[in-house]
Amino acid sequence: MPTFTITGDIDPFLHVSLRKGEKIYCESDAMVMMEATLDLQGKMTGGLGRALMRRLTSGESFFQQHIEATRGDGDCLLSPMLPGAMQVLDIGPQRYTLNDGAFVAATTDVQLQTRTQSLGNALFAQSGGFFVLEASGKGQLVASGFGSIFMLDVEPGKDAIIDNAHVVAWDSSLRYEISVTTASGGSGLLGNLLNSVTSGEGVVLRFSGVGKVLICSRNRDAFLAWTRKGAAS
């Protein structure tokens, strides 16, 4: 199986080592460098229907880069779109759900499929809109976050409340719902909503069950809004 190694402390590269005949796929424009023993092609992973669904529902690229070691062993370097850390995730039997823009690369036995989420989560928590990407199969997947990355363990009786803009990926077996930051003293819904607004957190995601959540230190949505505002001015 191809070997994924994250190299560098700040804005690291993803170093991929492939033996002859092995291949991976990655997000469009992720490839930075590759050895001459490797071939790169743009393909619609999963066929036209899945590629179109990914593009329309999650903002991922229609074509993805497929890198194969056709003339011998070889290495390549990949880089995510936004500056920040990366995390290698083992897929199978565990599945992971990815937030928008988190996918970097995967081995070919890992499948990315779109699935729907509840109307409330889509409208209020904005966790990928009405659709999110779910990784299944058996292999490895690399996800990226804006800033540093931390792997959080969710356990029974220890629900995790996380600002959605900091969520990178989560164990698909976890339950999650929209929530608001809670005011002390049992202030009720109105008090909790007021506390949510005044604390600056707004609506958050509450994860429960058993599994892992990958979170990043920077607010991706705020950064993208800031860059769009700068480009328009």
Nearest to 142 by CA among 80, 57, 77: 80
C-beta neighbour count of 61 within 10 angstroms: 18
Give the global pTM: 0.79
Domain extent listing, the chain: 3-232
Distance CA 203, CA 220 (A): 16
- pLDDT, tens only, 4-55: 999 988 889 999 999 999 999 999 889 999 999 999 998 765 544 454 444 4
- pLDDT, tens only, 53-79: 444 444 455 478 999 999 999 999 999
Q: Categorize the per-residue pLDDT at 203 as very low, low, confident or very high, splitting at 50, 70 and 90.
A: low
Write 50-57 long-range contacts (CB < 8 A, 24+).
Answer: 50/112, 50/113, 50/114, 53/114, 53/131, 54/112, 54/114, 54/133, 57/114, 57/129, 57/130, 57/131
How high is the pLDDT of residue 224? 62
Q: Categorize the per-residue pLDDT at 191 as very low, low, confident or very high, splitting at 50, 70 and 90.
A: very low
Q: Which fold has domain 3-232?
A: Double-stranded beta-helix (3.60.160)
How high is the pLDDT of residue 115? 74
Strand 96-98, strand 31-34: pairing:
unpaired
Q: Categorize the per-residue pLDDT at 131 as very low, low, confident or very high, splitting at 50, 70 and 90.
A: low
